Amino acid sequence: MAYEAVIGIETHVELATDSKMFCGCPARFGADPNTNVCPVCLGLPGALPVPNERAIEWIVAIGLALECDIAHRSHFHRKNYFYADQPKNYQISQFDVPVCSGGTLDIDVNGQATGVRINRVHMEEDTGKMIHVGGGGRIRDADHSLLDYNRSGIPLVEIVTEPDLSTPQQARAFAQELQAMVLALGVSDAKLEEGSMRFDANVSLRPEGAAELGTKVEVKNMNSFRSLERALAYEIERQTAALEAGVPILQETRHWDEGAGVTGSMRSKEESSDYRYFPEPDLVPIEVTDTWREAIQKGLPELPAARRNRYVALGLDPAAVAVLVSGGSALTGLFENAVGLGADPKAIANWLTGEVAAFLRRESVELGDTPLTGENLHELEGLYGAGDLSATAAKQVLAGVLAGEGSPAEVAEARDLIQISDAGALATEIDRVLANHPEEYQRLMDGDARVIGYLVGQVMRITAGKADPKVVSTMLGEKVKG
């Protein structure tokens, strides 16, 4: 029998607000353990939560971008379960009335468009981080565990789809499109490797064409788009084999093991918690007035789908479009800025997706943390286009700009990289070379064009690479004809 997969995705997005969801602590990644904490996010006796208004604004923006309905009045609930990374042993979340419900995100796989329905988008808080020391590195067999509450209370948005996906490729496309959306909105770093964007997938199989859903399995711990795709492919294969062998699928949560390339059982339905949700009495309902919602709608930036269309119309190649659209606000900001100043879109896209991207990878830095501006790119492109910089020199100038050495002109000047394309200046250099190479000069005069390459090389050598080789070559050629 042929089976088809039914997949739904739950996404957690950590918002990049300045402060945490319910207290004033910084919501930043990377500080020393337990330094961004206070009575509220440590769950000390007596502490009370106060909602972060910016986080509410941003979840509304996410909801609007996903074409959701925004509730005028929604509620926080307490989700009760004991776990040591959770300081209150309940998580402030939402239950029956989320901020956003209903919605769609369009994805495209190999030219085939699919609208993925969004069930809900709700607001909650993140937990602390646990590191298990000794044993197998899991809570059960560790010697002891270390707790870092810096992450505790960071605003977390959960986005839940309907089970509208049917292949691992679609799931990956959805995840990537959602990340591009979140980055375009500028509400999260959306880094999978740091956990600021996390995907869980629900997957079940049913006989092809059947209406009834099969037993679903939740798969967790996919830390990259690739692992999401691999985990789902594995899980579909595993469930297919089980069904074909007549083994029923258990409703359970499974953990993706990236190294082994398999999923393993974490807990079955019987072991799953009763969260005993009830309305959070320490908080009043979240009110989103029409005026506020409309203001947020008005402030939405260009979303990935619209941006993609516009970039295609600019003549950019599909690979560059994909990188620019999914690259976050810093990247698109630079691009827009440079193009806005009059630079050639294709050239700028090439710089950004080529040299700049390579630099960032090599140095492991964020674009936003470099001094590179759109103006720099525009200027660099100008110098290169005018022939003042060779392709090699332009790369060196860019590296200098990224390293903080100044504007392209300043770097080119300081590093002495300005190309000599002035005919007068070059004629002097060419004459010097010809004088020192009488044999080659004679061959050139005899009409032997094969010697030009050698002579260009000599000119480049004595000008320390600054001569424009094209101009030199042309000038030598003219001597032959002359």
Partner 1 sequence: MSSPADLTLAEATASLRAGELSSRELLQGTLDRAGLTEAELHAYLTIDHERARAAAAAADEARARGETTGPLHGIPVAIKDNMVTAGLETTAGSQILAGYIPPYDAAAVIALRKAGAVIVGKTNLDEFAMGSSTENSGYGPSANPWDTERVPGGSSGGSAAVVAAGSAMMALGSDTGGSIRQPAALCGVVGMKPTYGLVSRYGLIAFASSLDQIGPIARTVGDAAVALEVIAGHDPLDATSYRGAYPRYRASIGRGVAGLRVGVVAELAGEGISPDVLSAFRSVVDSLADAGAVVSEVSLPSMEYALSAYYLIAPAECSANLARFDGVRYGLRVEGATVEEMTARTRALGFGPEVTRRVLLGTYALSAGYYEAFYGQAQKVRTLVIQDFTKAYESVDVLVSPTSPMTAFEFGSRTEDPLSMYLVDVCTIPSNLVGAPGISVPVGLDGSGLPIGFQVMAPSLGEEILFRVAAEVERSSAWNDRRPPLLEADHGV
Binding to partner 1 in span 284-313, by CB under 8 A: 284
Q: Which is nearer to partner 1, 285 or 354 (CB)?
A: 285
Q: Binding residue for partner 1 (CB under 8 A) from 18, 31, 50, 310?
A: 50
CA-wise closest residue to 156 among 25, 284, 11, 276: 11
Q: Binding residue for partner 1 (CB under 8 A) from 32, 212, 270, 274?
A: 274
From the CB of 309, what's the least distance to partner 1, in Å? Answer: 43
From the CB of 57, what's the least distance to partner 1, in Å? Answer: 17
Binding to partner 1 in span 437-476, by CB under 8 A: none
Binding to partner 1 in span 196-255, by CB under 8 A: none
Q: Which is nearer to partner 1, 148 or 468 (CB)?
A: 148
Binding to partner 1 in span 1-40, by CB under 8 A: 39
Q: Binding residue for partner 1 (CB under 8 A) from 131, 133, 247, 278?
A: 278
CA-wise closest residue to 105 among 197, 190, 170: 170
Q: Which is nearer to partner 1, 108 or 141 (CB)?
A: 141
151 forms part of the interface with partner 1 (CB under 8 A): no
Residues binding partner 1: number (CB under 8 A): 31
Q: Which is nearer to partner 1, 278 or 454 (CB)?
A: 278
Q: Which is nearer to partner 1, 272 or 297 (CB)?
A: 272
Binding to partner 1 in span 176-195, by CB under 8 A: none
Q: Binding residue for partner 1 (CB under 8 A) from 26, 43, 195, 469?
A: 43
- Tell me the three-class secondary structure of the chain, residue by residue: CCEEEEEEEEEEEECCCCECCCCCCECCCCCCCCCCCCCCCCCCCCCCCCCCHHHHHHHHHHHHHCCCEECCEECCEEEECCCCCCCCCEEEECCCCCCEECCEEEEEECCEEEEEEEEEEEEEECCCEEEEECCCCCCCCCCEEEEECCCCCCEEEEEEECCCECCHHHHHHHHHHHHHHHHHHCCCCCCCCCCCEEEEEEEEEEECCCCCCCCCEEEEEECCHHHHHHHHHHHHHHHHHHHHCCCCCCCEEEEEECCCCEEEEEEEHHHCCCCCCEECCCCCCEECCHHHHHHHHHCCCCCHHHHHHHHHHCCCCHHHHHHHHHCCHHHHHHHHHHHHCCCCHHHHHHHHHHHHHHHHHHHCCCHHHCCCCHHHHHHHHHHHHCCCCCHHHHHHHHHHHHCCCCCHHHHHHHCCCCCECCHHHHHHHHHHHHHHCHHHHHHHHCCCHHHHHHHHHHHHHHCCCCECHHHHHHHHHHHHHC
328 forms part of the interface with partner 1 (CB under 8 A): no
CA-wise closest residue to 213 among 267, 263, 251, 268: 251
Q: Which is nearer to partner 1, 138 or 461 (CB)?
A: 138
Q: Binding residue for partner 1 (CB under 8 A) from 3, 10, 29, 47?
A: 47
The angle at the Cα of 264, spanning 263 to 269, to the nearest 5 degrees, equals 115
From the CB of 132, what's the least distance to partner 1, in Å? Answer: 10
From the CB of 288, what's the least distance to partner 1, in Å? Answer: 16
Q: Binding residue for partner 1 (CB under 8 A) from 20, 78, 216, 308?
A: 78
281 forms part of the interface with partner 1 (CB under 8 A): yes
Q: Which stretch binds partner 1 (CB under 8 A): 9-17, 82-90, 207-215, 409-417?
A: 82-90
Q: Which is nearer to partner 1, 79 or 308 (CB)?
A: 79
Q: Which is nearer to partner 1, 139 or 241 (CB)?
A: 139
Binding to partner 1 in span 112-141, by CB under 8 A: 139-140
Q: Binding residue for partner 1 (CB under 8 A) from 26, 33, 51, 382?
A: 51
266 forms part of the interface with partner 1 (CB under 8 A): no
Question: In the complex, which residues of this chain contact partner 1 (CB under 8 A)?
Answer: 39, 42-51, 78, 80, 82, 84, 87-90, 139-140, 145, 147, 274, 276-278, 281-284
